[in-house]
Structure formats: C-alpha cells, structure tokens
Structure 1
C-alpha cells in the first residue's frame, strides 16, 4: 500500500529559493555521518545563521522522515528510500518526482499556473479549493509560500513582483504530467469514506485517464459541475478535451482545452451529438434523436441557449477549431 501523501510541506533553512541546496547538504551529512538526533540538530545550528530552536529544526527533520528522505535506525539517522533514490543521481527530475508524488497539491498548482500568473493569495485559494483536505487557514499565506518556494527551488516557478508564473521547465512538466501521472493511486489524499472525490476518482469507461490532480484542478475551476447537465457528483464527471487528446498532445494539459462533463454528456460530445460554439451557445446535431428525458431537457431543449462558464470557459478558438470538423454544423 502506498504511503499517505503529505498535506503539509515544510520549508528548508537557507532562503526561499535554496531549499534544494539545503536538502542536498542535509542528505549528504546524514549519508556520511549517520548522526544522532543531537548531532543533526547541532549540524543545523552550525550550518545556518539564526537557527537555534530545536523544535524548529526537528519539525524539518520530521518532514524529511515523513517524505522518506531520511529514517531512524536506532539512535541514528540514515538515508531513507527516497533519499537513496535521489542521491543515486541527484537530478532535479528525480527530486521533482519524489516531491510531487509524496505531497498533495504540487501538481495541481503547476497546472493552475499554466493558465497564467497568480498572486500568493490566489495560490492559497487554488490549493484549498482544489484540495480542501489541506485545511489550512486561507487568511495565512505561509503554506502557499512554502509550496511556491519549493517549486521555485526546483526551477519550475519564478516570481516577478507579486506574481508567480511557470518557467519553461514548469511548462514542460505540465505537458508531460497529465499523462505521466494518469492512474496514479491517490486514495490517501482524502479522508472521505466513499473515496469518490475530485482528486481520487479515475475515469475508466469513456474518458481517457488523466492525472488525478489535473482532474481535480479542472473540477475546481468549474465549481465541480458539468456546465451542460449541472451534474455535480465528482464520480459522475469526466474531463473532456475540446481538441482531441490523440491529435493535439500540446494541449492535453491546457486548461483552456478542457471542461468537466457528466459521463453521458462527455460521450455525447465525443460522438458529435452536440457541441458548444465560440460564443458558448449549445449547438445540437439535427440528427440527434432520443427519448431520454434527461437528454431532451439538458441538450435538445437547450439548443441555442448560452452555457454558463463564469470566468473559466474553454478557449473560444479551440471550440471554433473543434466545430470546423463537424459536417452537420453549418453557419
């Protein structure tokens, strides 16, 4: 069984963009000396300026143990499995894989930033809206800053004034991650008894499986509701791509190219029974005939009506390109 993913991310000493360098130094010290706890605390005090609180040091040590970077061996500290994996090549890609696998919300933050720069308050709300199980006080920016600082240290995020945005490496990560992390086990993210949360549900019938954190990000941006049917149960929602997944790999992780649809409406959309035009009006295939009350009410009777997306609708140019492929849709 996979270990529980961590809700709290702890900063490293040494400054907001130096977390990786600090982690490297700690792991190299542990690997070489296998210190006791007192020796590890003393090393921190001798290495970093203005670090004296034992509790503050041990909070960081506990976090590194929870991730799996270090582990206790009797009275001593040794490298844990994640520490051994990282130090075996000490590449950013290995460290990034560990951090996004073991910590809730890092991937969803990168997906959200792919849509545009965010302030630290927007980062905080994005994380809590997408992962309510994080549970921190939304009025405090500290937890959001710790997350952005880890991503800055990894070279995926940069800060310009009050805005945080993706670097080129960050964009490369999001382009790969939506498929790379598809089907990953995320059941420990939430304490929900039925497991049917936005982050944990994996599509297996109609929709292509995507990274659960990408799925959670999409649902969060659309208030967890299908804009066509108004279905709002996460287990009944798919992530639908406007421009097809197989033909447009560069847009797989593009938040402007996706929307949440109920499983039935996703199937109907993919089978070209209805579409949404660039003005967000529902357009219905004239050959679509059904006796289903639900489909009559939510699709056929809504032909020509505006679909409400708020501020998070799909990119109109993507809808236009999608609709140019539909033989039945004539201006």
Structure 2
C-alpha cells in the first residue's frame, strides 16, 4: 500500500449514487478506444447532459490517473494497473480496496459509521479529527459529500434523512478490514512517528489492527488514556471491552473500544480493574502493587468516574465483560 495517498477525492458525473456506473463506462470506453484527450472530452460531452467544461472533464481524468485507473501515453488514454485489475476481477471488493488504498479517510469513515449514522457536518469533523492532513476548513461539507457519495455508489453507505449510515455490506467490510488492513503502511500526519504503530501487546500474544482504525479510536478519545492521562499517541493502545479473540464481530466496533496506555491496557486485560456502566473505575481487591503510578492511577481512583465521551461504550458490552468478575 502506498503511503502517499490522495487527500482530495473527486466526484464523478452522473449523480451522487452513480459514481461507479460512470467509472465503469469510462473504463469501458478507454479500454475499447484508447482515446486522445480530445476524444475523451467529446465522449463525456456526449454521455452526460450539461457537461461541457474541458477543465472539469480533465480534472476527473487526472484524478482517475492518480488513483491508477487510467494512464496517459502520448496523449492517448489507456487503462492503468488499477483499471485493468478492477476490470479483470469485476467485483466491488477489488474496487473498494483500490479506493481505500489510494484515498485518505475512506476506511476511517466506515469505522466511524459503525458507531451510528452521521450528518455531513459530523462526517467532515470526523475526517479532519482523524486525518488533519486533509486540511479543509471546519464546517465545509463538500469534500465530506464526495467521500460519502463514493461509498454510497459502492453500496456501503446509505442516506437516511439527513444522515448517512452503513449498509449490511459496509458493516461486513469494517468487521474484516480491522484485521485485513493491519499491514497498512499509512502514517498519520502528526508530530509523532509512534502513532503509526498498529501492533499492541495483548494478554496472550501480540495482535495487529488497521492503523486507520487505531487513529479513529484515538481521535474519538482525544488521544488520551482516561485512566492514566497518558497523551502520547505512541504509548496508547486500542483496548477492547469484549475481547478481540472471543468476539471477532466486535473488533471494529467503536462502541467496544477504549484508548488506554500500554500498561493500563495490560492491567485491564488481566482483570486488575474494569469500568462499570456508569464509567466508574472498579478495582480488583486482590490487586496489590508497589508502583506509585499504578497506585495513583488505578487503586486510589477506585469508584471514581473516568472521563470518556458520553455513550461512547455500549452498556451491554460493559455488562457482558463484567459478568464473570465477582468483585464488580
């Protein structure tokens, strides 16, 4: 996967839910005719009502070239590597992988939507919070609209009133992507190289998560461990309430995860402490330590309400996690 991904996602002609139909038509035309730029412009003008601007048409062709769908050689257009792969495979999974591989933010938006439907303003804020390198202005929704429309065209997102929600296909993708995309080399644009690490220590063995999922979780929790106050991204883990190994369907569920320091994540996995439905810290009475840090951040805070976003965890997940713990 390229780490130099595109920050701007360009819309296709034909309407907000027709991007893929338009993409397919362009690729079919280019494969059959290897057109010049003039011929490609002429085809667009003949195929889409009210489309006449050469600059607008060529901006879309340039975007498809950057993604890898098209390639220009001696003023003739042909299929690029991604275009040939997509046509040969002919499935939406291939297209989705290509788009996520080349465009910043599509995966993290899908992860965010697992937690619930979002308005365009919320989509815009989520993208900027997780990917500050996007750089658009707060309150701007044009770029958020293009991201949503690409995902709608792929059948992963649907519009419900003024909100956008995952479809069943979108949910299935996020459930598998958090592990399948774990080897992504994407590095968030922050002043901390440690943020890019996707691997964290677990109770039994090391496991790896998609760096975009990790970045989404850390952004949602203000990049701070609510137990220890650690706010260095390289020292934070994604901690699952319902365990990664026992509940694979909830691995990419944002309402099942916390951002914890590596030490406090290990303590949580070893059931030395937990949190209850009211977000109060509950400490295992058998937990003894001579560490000033653990005494101050865990034992001395027994019964204290920790600071995490309201409704960020599903109460039933917390109840299910705590059910075997006799001391809760």
Q: Do the two structures share a fold, i.e. TM-score over 0.5?
A: yes
Q: Alpha-carbon deviation of 1:226?
A: 0.8
CA distance in 2, matches of 1:33, 1:144: 34
**Deviates most, 19-28 or 277-286:** 277-286
- Aligned in 2, Cα 1:282/1:256: closer, same or farther, shift over 3 Å? same
Q: 1:104 to 1:312 in 2, by over 3 A?
A: farther
**How far did 1:194 drift?**
4.6
Counterpart in the other structure of 1:178: 178
Paired position in structure 2 for 1:103: 103
Aligned residue number for residue 164 of structure 1: 164
Post-superposition CA distance 1:20-66 (Å, at most 9, x none): 00000111111111111121112111111111111111111111011
CA contact (8 A) 1:221 1:312 kept: no
Q: TM-score, normalised by structure 2?
A: 0.95
**Superposition RMSD in Å:** 1.5
| Maintained 8 Å contact 2:12/2:19 | yes
Question: What's the counterpart of residue 238 of structure 1?
Answer: 237
Secondary structure at 2:324 match in 1? coil
Q: In the alignment, what sits opposite 1:221? A: 220
What are the within-5 Å matches in structure 2 for residues 274-285 of structure 1?
274-285=273-284
Q: Aligned residue for 1:136?
A: 136
Question: Does the residue aligned with 2:325 lie in a helix, a strand or coil?
Answer: coil
**What is residue 196 of structure 1 aligned with on the other side?**
194
CA contact (8 A) 1:12 1:22 kept: yes
In the alignment, is the contact (CA less than 8 A) between 2:3 and 2:185 conserved in 1? Answer: no
The CA distance in 2 between the partners of 1:64 and 1:195, in whole Å, is: 30
Distance 2:302 2:192 in 1: 36
Aligned partner of 2:268 in structure 1 is: 269
Residue 324 of structure 1 corresponds to which residue in structure 2?
Answer: 323
The more displaced of 17-26 and 67-76 is 67-76
Tell me, in whole angstroms, the C-alpha distance in 1 between the residues paired with 2:309 and 2:97.
34
**C-alpha distance in 1, partners of 2:186/2:286?**
41
Shift of 1:142: 0.6
2:182 counterpart of 1:155? no
Report what 1:68 is aligned to: 68
Q: CA deviation at 1:195?
A: 2.5
Q: Aligned residue pairs: how many?
A: 325
Match of 1:88, SS state, is helix
Verify the 8 A CA contact 2:201 2:266 in the aligned structure 1.
no
**Counterpart secondary structure, 1:196:** helix
Structure 2 residue 19 is matched with structure 1 residue 19: yes
Q: In the alignment, is the contact (CA less than 8 A) between 1:284 and 1:303 conserved in 2?
A: yes
- Whether the 8 Å CA contact 1:238–1:261 is kept in 2: the answer is yes
Could you tell me whether the CA contact under 8 Å between 1:222 and 1:312 is conserved in 2?
no
Residues 201 and 234, structure 1, Cα contact 8 Å, conserved in 2: no
For 2:123 and 2:169, how far apart are their aligned partners in 1? 19
After TM superposition, give the deviation of residue 193 of structure 1 in Å. 6.0
Q: Distance in 2 between matches of 1:117 and 1:70?
A: 34
CA distance in 1, matches of 2:164, 2:46: 33
- Match in the other structure for 1:306: 305
Distance 1:262 1:185 in 2: 22
Q: Which runs of 5+ in 2 are unaligned?
A: none
- Residue aligning to 1:210: 209
User: Does the aligned pair in 2 maintain the 1:273–1:285 contact within 8 Å?
Assistant: yes
Conserved in 1, the CA contact under 8 Å of 2:117 and 2:166?
yes
Q: Identify the residue that residue 30 of structure 1 maps to in structure 2.
A: 30
